[in-house]
Amino acid sequence: MTRKAAQRTRAAPPIDGEAALQARIKALELELEQKNVLLEQGFAAFTQAAEKLQESYKDLQGQVADLNLELSEKNQELERNLEEREKVKTYLSNIFESLPVGVFVTDLQGAITSINRAGLEMIGATAEAIVGLGVNEVLEAEIFAVDGTGPEPDGAAYDLDEPLTYHRPDGETLHLQISLTQMTGEGRPLGYILNAQDVTLLKQLEEQAERRNRFTAMGEMAATIAHEIRNPLGSIELFASLVKKGLADEEKLALMNHISSGIANMNHIISNVLEYTKPRPVNLRTLDLHRLLHEMGEFSRYMAEQNGVELVYDLGEQPARVRGDEDLLKQVFHNLLLNAVQAMPEGGCVTFASRRRTVTNGKELARFGDVPVHEGAALDVVEVGVRDTGPGIPKEVQRKIFDPFFTTKARGTGLGLAIVHNIIESHHATVDVVSGEGKGTEFIFMFPLIAAQ
């Protein structure tokens, strides 16, 4: 074989390798074409999925928008409900605070959870000092049992038979009518609602009406008896004076003097009875109460000094102009001074003091009779106190001292302070007594002032 032939023989394999390479390339091209087809199909599927996802996203956005709109409407409805509830709450709170009676809300054990404005004004305290305390402790009464249970577990209303007496921190005494009702919710007891109504003025008016009725009946009877006694008493006094003229025996004369003294004492008692049952007409004129007190004191000074009693004046410098009957008012203060001297056999001190004040409390204004009581009403008064340093008057006696024929003296008629009370009422003024055993006694008068011209 020639060299060229041999070279051709050795060059043949590359021709076969090229074919294989071409075949490989074609296979790759086919595979690439298949992959392109798959890729196109994948892109088409991806595009389709993306379109579906976009549609779903749009649907989701629509649902979110609907939910946002629904949520906004619900929020607005909730806000309206909250506003309505707040209005109702404020409305109920205003009603609660505006009630004219004191309202105490308690839990089942009687501890106060809330109290309205009228209740706070009634007891003279703040909510911070009262909330949490037991209603028994605050009102000084056994409304709840000692074990803390309410009086009416079945929820029925409960009224105390008699008004309870409450002593305010400022010393004022109130009479409160109590009504208790169980508070329930969701079919179970939650606590109690206690209503306290101030019936102090009503009780005072009832007592005054009862006293007037009693006084009228007693006065008519006493006046009849007084007239029946006075006629024969005058004859006895005349005959006793005639007998005394013809007596020379000093012992018998002394006995007749005792008879005359007894007749004079009986005549004095009858005169007081008649003065009480048929008082003199009141002649009201403008006068200076300070001047009247000084004049009465000077008139009685000798009597006071003889009994070791000092008279002290703590009166304002300005005149206290009031409308009054000078003779009757002098009788009032002289009567009180005489009582004070008799109450201090070992001596002591009687002080006449005065101060100006403005009365705005409705209960106090109503006591003056001719003063209209309305919102914002006010009355300028002069308050006069007659205070002694005697043994004082027991509590159980104080409420009776203005009753006719009531006396703690062995030989008293019990008409002096009753006459004082009648005279003061006829002047459209007020009188009160403040006393304690061993602490002396003070009579406090309030007279409407006359404005300076």
Summarize the confidence of residues 373-395 as an average pLDDT. 84
Are 215 and 326 in the same domain? no
Summarize the confidence of residues 422-442 as an average pLDDT. 87
Q: Which residues lie below 8 Å from residue 435, measured CB to CB, with a gap of 6+? A: 392, 393, 398, 441, 442
pLDDT of residue 403: 75
pLDDT tens-digit readout, 32-53: 888 888 888 888 888 888 888 8
User: 383 burial class (0-12, 13-18, 19+ CB within 10 angstroms)?
Assistant: middle
Residue 18 belongs to a domain? no
Summarize the confidence of residues 422-445 as an average pLDDT. 88
Are 272 and 308 in the same domain? no
pLDDT of residue 349: 93
Are 294 and 403 in the same domain? yes
Q: Show the domain range for 321.
A: 285-448
- Beta strand spans in 232-369 (E): 285-288, 309-314, 321-324, 348-359
Residue 375 belongs to a domain? yes
Give the rounded percent of residues in the chain with a pLDDT score beyond 70: 82
Q: What secondary structure does DSSP assign to 246-262, as a single string? A: T---HHHHHHHHHHHHH
Confidence bin at 148 (pLDDT 50/70/90)? very low
Query: Tokens 């008699």 identify what position?
Result: 162
Q: How many C-beta atoms lie closer than 10 Å to residue 152's C-beta? A: 13
pLDDT tens-digit readout, 162-206: 788 888 887 778 888 888 888 888 888 888 888 888 888 777 777
pLDDT of residue 207: 73
Tell me the CATH number at 301: 3.30.565.10
Are 152 and 273 in the same domain? no
pLDDT of residue 426: 85
Residue 54 belongs to a domain? no
Give the rounded percent of residues in the chain with a pLDDT score beyond 90: 12
- Residue 124 has φ and ψ, to the nearest 5°, of 65, 45
Confidence bin at 1 (pLDDT 50/70/90)? very low
Residue 292 near residue 329 (C-beta atoms within 8 A) = yes
Are 126 and 208 in the same domain? no
Are 189 and 310 in the same domain? no
Are 243 and 172 in the same domain? no
Are 192 and 250 in the same domain? no
pLDDT tens-digit readout, 394-426: 887 887 887 776 677 666 666 778 888 888 888
Q: Domains in the chain: how many in total?
A: 3
Are 436 and 297 in the same domain? yes
Q: Which one is predicted more confidently, 402 or 161?
A: 402
Last residue of a domain, one of 226, 257, 277: 277
pLDDT of residue 157: 42
Residue 391 belongs to a domain? yes
pLDDT tens-digit readout, 209-234: 776 676 667 667 766 776 677 677 77
Are 297 and 427 in the same domain? yes
- Using CA atoms, how far apart are residues 294 and 291, in angstroms rounded to an integer? 5
Tell me the CATH number at 190: 3.30.450.20
* Helices (H) then strands (E): counts for the chain: 11, 13
Q: Let me know how long the chain is.
A: 453
End-to-end CA distance of the chain: 169
Residue 453 belongs to a domain? no
pLDDT of residue 365: 80
Summarize the confidence of residues 154-164 as an average pLDDT. 59
Least confident of 7-21, 177-191, 246-260, 324-338: 7-21
Which tokens belong to 4?
A: 């060229």
pLDDT tens-digit readout, 237-292: 777 777 777 677 777 777 777 777 777 767 766 776 666 666 667 888 999 999 99
Are 270 and 388 in the same domain? no
Nearest to 143 by CA among 200, 72, 195: 195
Residue 174 near residue 198 (C-beta atoms within 8 A) = yes
Residue 33 belongs to a domain? no
pLDDT of residue 389: 92
Q: Provide the mean pLDDT of the chain.
A: 80
Residue 41 belongs to a domain? no
Q: Would the pLDDT of 438 be above 90?
A: no
Cα 246-247-252 angle, rounded to 5 deg: 150
- Residue 167, classed as helix, strand or coil, is strand
Sign of CA dihedral 253, 259, 263, 268: positive
Are 173 and 212 in the same domain? no
Q: Would the pLDDT of 430 be above 50?
A: yes
Last residue of a domain, one of 254, 277, 300: 277
Q: Would the pLDDT of 117 be above 60?
A: yes
Tell me the CATH number at 269: 1.10.287
Residue 363 belongs to a domain? yes
Last residue of a domain, one of 198, 227, 246: 198
Q: Would the pLDDT of 122 be above 80?
A: yes
Q: How far is CA 258 from the centre of its chain?
A: 58
Confidence bin at 155 (pLDDT 50/70/90)? very low
Residue 276 near residue 219 (C-beta atoms within 8 A) = yes
